[in-house]
Amino acid sequence: MADPIISGQRCQRCRLVARLCYCQKIKLLTSTTRVTVVMHASERCRSSNTARVLEMALTDCEVLLVGEKDNPFKGIRLQQDEANFVLYPEPSAAALSTEYLKRTISASIRRVHLIVPDGSWTQAKRIVHGNIHLRGIPRVQLAELAPSAYLLRKNGRTGGVCTAEAVAHALGEIEGEQLKNELLHNFTIMRDNVLESHYSRWCTAEESAKHYYLTHKPLVRG
């Protein structure tokens, strides 16, 4: 990973204080899939936004903002030799699997282009259903959801995973387990540092921020 951009006390890339900056720990990963994250603008500056770790790691990941006052959304770049899918859990979305991709993608297609709405559940719903640029693009969802390891915000629905986890599982189906596991490892590094940042005011350096989050009690010293 490139050197972090420290401005004042805070890294401008991961948005954490310099002591907790994790940018250089994120492993760069090459994927054949192109990923476009359509992010609500209110997420851009939040250190807990997990699409950031995808943008840092993946060689072909672009983040487009929607909801900016003075900068209307200009659309998504679509290419004829790519199979476009919107990753969004809704009843009519197809279950994303290796078999589904084999069935639906023709030989002339070079690669998958995964479009991922990012924001609160309400914002993501509005992006998927209200944005004309996403209209007509097939929807896919994860077939089986592992329990989320997110911990940074309360999820709005049972079994909901955060954006980084969802993309890791989707790329696991498209490209294989190794890429999925490396993406999840990157995500865990990010999560632990953001947790540390959120809870370091309430627990001492020897105590675990994750423990504090889960119990809201400091560790009992023996």
Is residue 14 within the footprint of Zn ion (CB under 5 A)?
Answer: yes
Residue 39 Cα to chain centre, angstroms: 10
10: contact with Zn ion by CB under 5 A: no
Q: Is position 29 an interface residue for Zn ion (rule: CB under 5 A)?
A: no
Residue 160 near Zn ion by CB under 5 A: no
How many residues touch Zn ion (CB under 5 A)? 6
Cα-Cα-Cα-Cα torsion 72, 74, 76, 79, nearest 10 degrees, comes to 180
Contacting range for Zn ion; rule: CB under 5 A; set: 1-9, 69-77, 183-191, 201-209: 1-9
Residue 40 has, within 13 A of its CA and on its CB side, a CA count of: 17
Query: Is 13 a residue that touches Zn ion (CB under 5 A)?
Result: yes
Kind of pairing between the strands at 139-142 and 94-96: parallel
Contact flag: residue 21 with Zn ion (CB under 5 A) = yes
- Helix/strand/coil percent split, the chain, to 5: 35, 20, 45
Minimum CB distance to Zn ion, residue 143 (Å): 34
| Other CB atoms within 10 A of residue 129 CB | 12
Instruction: Determine if 11 is a binding residue for Zn ion (CB under 5 A).
Output: yes
User: Minimal distance in Å, beta carbon 42 to Zn ion?
Assistant: 20
> According to the binding rule CB under 5 A, does residue 26 interact with Zn ion?
no
Least distance (Å) from Zn ion to the CB of residue 192?
14
The answer to the question of residue 96 lying near Zn ion (CB under 5 A) is no
Residue of the chain from 20, 23, 39, 86 that contacts Zn ion (CB under 5 A):
23
Question: Tokens in use for 206?
Answer: 């020897």
Complete DSSP assignment for 64-88? EEE--TTS--------TTEEEEEE-
Residues that bind Zn ion (CB under 5 A): 4, 11, 13-14, 21, 23
